[in-house]
């Protein structure tokens, strides 16, 4: 039987603890009772991320190492697929995107539709199929966040805001794990773009501020992406000149750091949402 993310984390912690020949009472000095460790290992209750981090540090294990241990020291098939899809999305490699769409039509329709959503509009029936699944999610793992990041722009602004705002607290235990944090930022930033187009300033600002709180100091990609989206928000609601400067500076940074695919992607977004507006006005 496939384990949930919470079960994987609990099982991995137990394996790691036992490999170090430590008892469940070992961590009481850092505010973790024997009962809380027992509940975590049984997947009955999550640990707070700072306490989990401290316990892992005590066992000389980083969060990244722990994450791979929880996943049997390998990437899941779906994770490799989503990473391939993300690279193809930024490169606008339609051949790879359509290959994923076709490959997963029978294997996992949700992945197939997330690939389709990167290059064309989904039907109302397809959107309903995905929305029904997303509304039933209780634990937001990498699979669910990846799925949402590719389809969020296809959802209505109200539905999208409801979903995105709802999972923010539900993902709290995993906010210090890099890949989860970055995927959350992508969902939030793409949602802000949709809300700006819908002229929902209040919710756009709310989600933009949440995205800012998730920024890692050394994660250049997320910081530059945030600069671009902050610029678009500023352009839409506050100051067109200041917003334009922020967006163009983000594209320039991607270019200067050798991220040509990202620079071209965000230039295309700029042309669609800004240049086209200026020509029409």
Kindly state the average pLDDT of the residues 118-122.
Answer: 96
Q: What is the pTM of this model?
A: 0.74
Kindly state the average pLDDT of the residues 240-264.
Answer: 96
55 close to 20: Cβ distance less than 8 angstroms: no
| Residue 65's pLDDT band (cuts 50, 70, 90) | confident
Per-residue pLDDT tens for 221-233?
999 999 999 999 9
Task: Answer whether residue 149 shows pLDDT above 80.
Answer: yes
What is residue 16's three-state secondary structure? helix
CA distance 239 to 229: 14
Q: 43-57, 67-81, 207-221: which has the highest mean pLDDT?
A: 207-221
Q: What is the dihedral of CA 205, 139, 54, 187, to 10 degrees?
A: -30
Q: 124-133, 182-191, 226-235, 269-278: which has the highest mean pLDDT?
A: 226-235
160 close to 194: Cβ distance less than 8 angstroms: yes
Task: Answer whether residue 276 shows pLDDT above 80.
Answer: no
Query: Which is more confidently placed, 36 or 67?
Result: 36
Residue 146 has which token pair?
């990846």
Kindly state the average pLDDT of the residues 91-99.
Answer: 96
Task: Answer whether residue 114 shows pLDDT above 70.
Answer: yes
Radius of gyration of the chain (CA): 20
Average pLDDT, the chain: 87
Per-residue pLDDT tens for 159-201?
888 888 777 766 555 666 677 888 889 999 999 999 999 999 9
Residue 256 has which token pair?
């200067």
Kindly state the average pLDDT of the residues 133-147.
Answer: 83
| Residue 1's pLDDT band (cuts 50, 70, 90) | very low
Task: Answer whether residue 48 shows pLDDT above 60.
Answer: yes
pLDDT score at 275: 80
Task: Answer whether residue 279 shows pLDDT above 70.
Answer: no
Residue 227 has which token pair?
């600069």
Poorest-confidence range of 8-22, 69-83, 237-251? 69-83
Task: Answer whether residue 242 shows pLDDT above 80.
Answer: yes
């Amino acid at each position: 039987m496939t384990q949930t993310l919470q079960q994987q984390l609990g099982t991995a912690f137990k394996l790691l603890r036992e490999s170090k020949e430590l008892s469940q009472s070992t961590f009481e000095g850092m505010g973790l009772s024997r009962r809380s460790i027992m509940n975590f290992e049984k997947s009955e209750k999550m640990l707070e991320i700072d306490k989990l981090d401290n316990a892992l540090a005590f066992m000389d294990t980083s969060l990244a190492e722990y994450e791979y241990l929880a996943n049997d020291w390998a990437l899941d098939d779906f994770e490799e697929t989503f990473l391939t899809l993300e690279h193809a999305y930024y490169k606008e490699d339609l051949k790879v995107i359509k290959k994923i769409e076709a490959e997963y039509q029978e294997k996992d329709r949700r992945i197939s539709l997330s690939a389709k959503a990167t290059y064309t509009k989904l039907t109302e029936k397809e959107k309903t199929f995905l929305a029904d699944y997303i509304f039933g999610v209780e634990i937001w793992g990498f699979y669910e966040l990846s799925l949402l990041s590719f389809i969020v722009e296809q959802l209505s602004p109200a539905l999208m805001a409801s979903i995105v705002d709802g999972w923010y607290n539900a993902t709290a235990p995993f906010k210090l794990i890099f890949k989860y944090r970055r995927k959350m930022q992508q969902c939030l930033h793409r949602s802000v773009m949709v809300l700006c187009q819908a002229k929902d300033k209040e919710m756009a600002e709310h989600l933009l501020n949440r995205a800012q709180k998730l920024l890692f100091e050394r994660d250049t990609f997320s910081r530059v992406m945030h600069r671009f989206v902050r610029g678009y928000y500023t352009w839409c609601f506050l100051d067109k000149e200041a917003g334009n400067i922020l967006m163009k500076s983000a594209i320039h940074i991607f270019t200067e750091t050798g991220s040509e695919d990202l620079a071209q992607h965000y230039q295309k977004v700029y042309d669609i949402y800004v240049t086209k507006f200026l020509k029409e006005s």
